[in-house]
Amino acid sequence: MTTRTEHAASAPLLSATLSATDEIRVAVSTVIFSLRRSSGAERPAVVIPLVRRTRDPHDGQWALPGGWLGGAEGLEAAASRTLAETTGLAPSFLEQLYAFGDVDRSPSRVVSIVYWALVREDVSSDPALENVRWFDATALPELAFDHNQIVDYALWRLRNKVGYSRIAHGLLPGLFTLADLREVYEAILGRRLDPANFRRQVEGSGTLIPTDGFRTGSHRPARLYRYNHDVELAERGPLPR
């Protein structure tokens, strides 16, 4: 028995079920989360932008923004380009989510490297682009390809990660109240949090810097905080930046 290493293209394939690799194409897609407030709603909704397909397969269905990976383009660069083309925005957080490569996920063989991104609420207004619309991420129509499954997985990652990292701040503007921050957690987790417990936990976390500013309005004045940028939104480990 012989062994093979990656890039050993000319080694004989062991199984007849494996066919030539030149039929496999690589796409990059991005799940872009933001928050949207609607009057009367108990909490903001987690929303994502989708693009309506204008060709087959799945003509007319909504799909994640994305495109083919360019031959001279890195994976993260392709994800950033996708995001810029769809929303015109640079994300506050961008991370690789997962590579989806099931054989039958598309009529032709496509491996999609999927990223997920956060865009702050104050800059996620409806893009002035044809065929792009923001949807409530928890109430999507049937999407093209396996994109419903991809969004479900991205939501699961978001909910997990909000518990052990600082990524909630990727959805907030530069100055915010503790109530704003709590609302982000509530929107992601889909449930109410006790305000006093929440205040105690975040004040002990070292990630917030109180400012001298206050928000005034119909309620009593609330102190404005900013994020401590010495603390990274999420650990990347030894991956290159």
Q: Does 228 bind its own copies (CB under 8 A)?
A: no
Distance of CA 121 to the CA centre of its chain: 13
Distance of CA 27 to the CA centre of its chain: 16
Binding-site member from 24, 41, 179, 234 for its own copies (CB under 8 A): 24
Q: Does 234 bind its own copies (CB under 8 A)?
A: no
Minimum CB distance to its own copies, residue 70 (Å): 3
Pairing of strands 25-36, 110-118: parallel
Residue type, 176: F
Minimum CB distance to its own copies, residue 159 (Å): 9
Region binding its own copies by CB under 8 A among candidate stretches 36-44, 78-86, 183-191, 209-217 = 78-86
Q: Which residues contact 224 (CB under 8 A, 6 or more apart)?
A: 175, 176, 177, 210, 211, 213, 214, 215
Judged by CB under 8 A, the chain residues 82 through 121 that form the site for its own copies are: 85-86, 96, 98-99, 101-103, 106, 108-113
Minimum CB distance to its own copies, residue 195 (Å): 27
> Between the CA of residue 18 and those of 26, 29, 101, what are the distances in Å?
18, 26, 14
Beta bridge mates, 132: 51
Judged by CB under 8 A, the chain residues 133 through 162 that form the site for its own copies are: 144-145, 149, 152-153, 156-157, 160
Q: Which is nearer to its own copies, 55 or 219 (CB)?
A: 55
Region binding its own copies by CB under 8 A among candidate stretches 51-59, 168-176, 192-200, 216-224 = 51-59
Cα distance from N-terminal residue to C-terminal residue, the chain: 40
Binding-site member from 36, 75, 186, 222 for its own copies (CB under 8 A): 75
What is the phi/psi pair of residue 235, to 5°?
Answer: -70, 135
Minimum CB distance to its own copies, residue 146 (Å): 9
Judged by CB under 8 A, the chain residues 25 through 44 that form the site for its own copies are: 25-29
Q: Which is nearer to its own copies, 132 or 233 (CB)?
A: 132
Minimum CB distance to its own copies, residue 177 (Å): 30
Q: Which residues of 125-150 are buried (b: 16+ CB within 10 A; e: fewer)?
A: eebeeeebebbebeeeeebbbbbeeb
Q: Which residues contact 100 (CB under 8 A, 6 or more apart)?
A: 111, 112, 114, 146, 149, 150
Q: Does 64 bind its own copies (CB under 8 A)?
A: yes
Q: Which is nearer to its own copies, 84 or 179 (CB)?
A: 84
x/- binding map, residues 179-208, to its own copies, per CB under 8 A?
A: ------------------------------
